[in-house]
Structure 1
Amino acid sequence: MRTSTPKGLQPNVLGTFDTVVMAVAGSAPAYSLAATTAFLTGAVGFAAPAALLYCAIPMLGIVLAFSRLGRIDVNAGAGYSWVGRTLHPFLGFLSGWALVVAATIFMVAGSLPAGQLTLSLIAPSLADETGPATAVGAGWFLVMLLVVLGGARLTVRAQLIMTGVELLILLLFVLGALMHRGSAAAFDWSWFGFGHFDGVSGFASGALIAAFCYWGWDVTSNLSEETRDSRRTAGLAALIGVGVVFLLFEAFTVSVNVILSSGAITAGGAHVLALLGDTIWPGAGGRLMVLAVVLSTVATLETTLIQVTRSLFAMGRDRTMPAALGTVHRRWNTPWVAIAVVGAVALALFVAATTLGSVGDILGKAVHAMGLQIAFYYGLAGVAAVVAYRRTLLASVRDFLLGGVWPLFGAAFMFWVFVEALGELSDTSVAIGLGGLAAGVVPMLWYWRRGSAYYRPARLDAAQALAAAEPYAVPRQRRGGAGSGEPLATDF
């Protein structure tokens, strides 16, 4: 007997531990440190630990916003659905579009270093050649594309191996840094203060890079339709994931400040972690650290693919993008059309990227452009959480602080960084960042004119969801799109 095509993603595939692993892998500690340490040091000098610290505080406000919104609307589109149902559908679409653009850019910004670093392990003479690095990076990308196509369970099994080994290597070198003798600079608590920033604009530039470092933990929200007890699990996993990567970021930026000179950091570029590893453990240290960065890069390619394909799936399901994107594979329960489209676009970008210069040049421009996109959609989610819970904020001091003040502070910080950074970044980074966002206006207006139900949303209101929820209610799998009006909440 022929079975019909499933209407949705497969529910209850991931547990709490699985989702925590995905959150850590999404932020990609080793890759983020390798990709940004030289840029962050160039922007703020010894204040790199401070930039990561002061970005973490408002970032936790955004984590709280995602957690609270996920409790009243389980949707693979996450911010795309929440912002559309609280602020305005146009802003919701652009929020989802910003994630799609940032993730698509990352396909190049992540795959090229993966290819370069892999070559540095097996064929060092080819590591600095953009062409071979592009080819190997594309190979890694295709492998991860197939893993994501195979379903959430296969995806998390791959993550357990890659992220587990990565974290073990990083912890080994944290211990090595503590025991290392000899230093380029003595540790100073002022590295966590504001004294080393070059004014407000310098702080904003550092914060934009730091925002990119943390980006990726919200993959837990995009996986919510496939997670057990996701109304609680997705937010908890994101909080734990951000805490883990924050500690690693601080440990390594302090180690870099102490052990390496500023000149060595700048000269090291994307290889700064390998340089640090070789300094701590001459000989094998550098290669081990390169292995950690390769694993981290490949792991975050996988989580980013999940984010962009689940977002496109939600858009296709809501008919705000071609409906085919909402098609789910009959066997694997994955949005296979969205995965195929992302794969084709990314491979085209790989070819185009070879004309933009070296891997380092491409990475620098991409990090800043993605930072703008990230600040935009994180800021909108922070505001959406406050609006959704506006009628419950005065119920207690806890609700007021955790549901109102902190998410709103996080949103204000993200928007401030977005505006301040526009005057500091290169024309190329601004053009990629804003141009990519502006390109979303075309499909937004097209499908709005065609009458997508997404643009006539059922309003998302936490007070109504709380009133409707019953302690014994059984969670239901969301079957509609953002306009389906099913904001059932069972675990607050």
Structure 2
Amino acid sequence: VTDGWEVSSYASEENVGTSRQPGLGGLVGLLITVAIVVVCMAAYSRVSDLASISSHAADTLAFVAVQLGGGWKTTVMVITVLVSTAATLWTTQLGISRGIFSMARDRVFPRALSAVHPSFGTPHLSILAVNVGVLAVTLLTGLMPSANEALLEVVNASSIFLGLTFVLTGLACIVHFRRKGFPVTDLTRVVLPAIGTIAVTALLVFNFASQSRWDQIIALVGIGAGVIFAAVPRLPKAAAPRYRVPAA
């Protein structure tokens, strides 16, 4: 859900049609995904009881396949998980690369990350930066005792960054439309984003407090690195000295 929403928003400058299309695309994708999740939850509840499903939260599809008899059903479930994981990784890299490119173009991040490949027309440096980061995180997760614990660490730490993204997006929406002259009472442009921002902030604080000390440290280090990285382009630049050619 979140990856689809991010791609819809990050790639909004390439949409065809009105400026409302990216937002509508995100909402339609969200509703379709929620509908699929609700249908699956109802179907799974017919296969096993809630307690058993909850105890297999990390491998729900495999557990459901076994309850259905295993065999080819397990193979289908495994393929589904692999395809879903690959799609999630791709959309995450696409969204983050596009976001870094946009921020670098607007001088929020170092301008070098806004470079476009002369042959392929892609933001190759921002894509490279994202993939280097992904590779580093992947290598670090190899230090975990098991793949399941590595996955949990990544999910727990990234959930804080994701929540912070939604908070900043809500605040940016409010500031943007207020600067355009829309009143504070505007329901869709100010009021609802404000309510969403407050709600997500409360959830984010609760989520951070409930994380392990290690996950909190990872989140704080990541946030600090992001603040420093974004602040560097805003530092005052020393004026370049001007030299004059002496007259003959």
- Which bracket does the TM-score occupy, shorter chain normalised? 0.7 to 0.9
Question: Which stretch of the first structure deviates more once superposed, 218-227 or 267-276?
Answer: 267-276
Per the TM alignment, residue 258 of structure 1 is displaced from its structure 2 partner at its CA by: 4.3
Instruction: Name the counterpart of 2:217.
Output: 431
Letter in 1 for 2:200: M
The 5 Å alignment of 1:239-250 reads 239-250=27-38
The one-character-per-residue Cα deviations of 1:164-200 (angstroms, maximum 9, x if unpaired) are xxxxxxxxxxxxxxxxxxxxxxxxxxxxxxxxxxxxx
Report the Cα distance in structure 2 between the residues aligned to 1:383 and 1:348, rounded to whole angstroms.
Answer: 31
Instruction: Name the counterpart of 1:268.
Output: 56
Instruction: Name the counterpart of 1:408.
Output: 194
Report the Cα distance in structure 2 between the residues aligned to 1:342 and 1:258, rounded to whole angstroms.
Answer: 42
C-alpha contact 1:313 1:335 (8 A) present in aligned 2: yes
The one-character-per-residue Cα deviations of 1:206-249 (angstroms, maximum 9, x if unpaired) are xxxxxxxx454121121122222261221111010000111112
TM-score by length of 1: 0.45
Instruction: Name the counterpart of 2:78.
Output: 290
1:392 aligns with 2:178: no
> Residues 230, 435 of structure 1: CA spacing in aligned structure 2 closer, same or farther, 3 A cutoff?
farther
Of structures 1 and 2, the one with the larger relative CO (CA 8 A, separation 6+) is 1
Instruction: Name the counterpart of 2:24.
Output: 236
C-alpha contact 1:269 1:360 (8 A) present in aligned 2: no
3-state SS of 2:210 partner: coil
TM-score by length of 2: 0.84
Report the Cα distance in structure 2 between the residues aligned to 1:334 and 1:384, rounded to whole angstroms.
Answer: 27
Report the Cα distance in structure 2 between the residues aligned to 1:350 and 1:311, rounded to whole angstroms.
Answer: 21
Per the TM alignment, residue 402 of structure 1 is displaced from its structure 2 partner at its CA by: 2.2
> Residues 405, 317 of structure 1: CA spacing in aligned structure 2 closer, same or farther, 3 A cutoff?
closer
Report the Cα distance in structure 2 between the residues aligned to 1:314 and 1:388, rounded to whole angstroms.
Answer: 17
Per the TM alignment, residue 281 of structure 1 is displaced from its structure 2 partner at its CA by: 5.6
What is the aligned counterpart of 1:419 among 196, 200, 205? Answer: 205
Instruction: Name the counterpart of 1:345.
Output: 133
Report the Cα distance in structure 1 between the residues aligned to 2:73 and 2:157, rounded to whole angstroms.
Answer: 32
3-state SS of 1:355 partner: coil
Instruction: Name the counterpart of 2:244.
Output: none
Identity fraction in percent = 28
Per the TM alignment, residue 318 of structure 1 is displaced from its structure 2 partner at its CA by: 3.1
C-alpha contact 2:160 2:204 (8 A) present in aligned 1: yes
> Residues 284, 323 of structure 1: CA spacing in aligned structure 2 closer, same or farther, 3 A cutoff?
same
Question: Which stretch of the first structure deviates more once superposed, 278-287 or 413-422?
Answer: 278-287
The 5 Å alignment of 1:303-318 reads 303-318=91-106
C-alpha contact 1:278 1:284 (8 A) present in aligned 2: no
3-state SS of 1:328 partner: coil
RMSD across aligned positions (CA): 2.3
> Residues 230, 296 of structure 1: CA spacing in aligned structure 2 closer, same or farther, 3 A cutoff?
farther
Letter in 2 for 1:218: E
What is the aligned counterpart of 2:166 among 361, 368, 378? Answer: 378
1:219 aligns with 2:17: no
Report the Cα distance in structure 2 between the residues aligned to 1:346 and 1:277, rounded to whole angstroms.
Answer: 31
Letter in 1 for 2:214: T
Per the TM alignment, residue 262 of structure 1 is displaced from its structure 2 partner at its CA by: 4.9
Per the TM alignment, residue 269 of structure 1 is displaced from its structure 2 partner at its CA by: 4.1
3-state SS of 2:5 partner: coil
Instruction: Name the counterpart of 1:449.
Output: 235
Per the TM alignment, residue 375 of structure 1 is displaced from its structure 2 partner at its CA by: 1.3
3-state SS of 1:443 partner: helix
Report the Cα distance in structure 1 between the residues aligned to 2:200 and 2:3, rounded to whole angstroms.
Answer: 12
Aligned residues: 235
Bigger Rg, structure 1 or 2? 2
C-alpha contact 2:5 2:26 (8 A) present in aligned 1: yes
Which structure 2 residue ranges, 5 or more long, are not aligned?
238-248
The one-character-per-residue Cα deviations of 1:385-416 (angstroms, maximum 9, x if unpaired) are 2232233347xxxx833223322111111100
3-state SS of 1:217 partner: helix
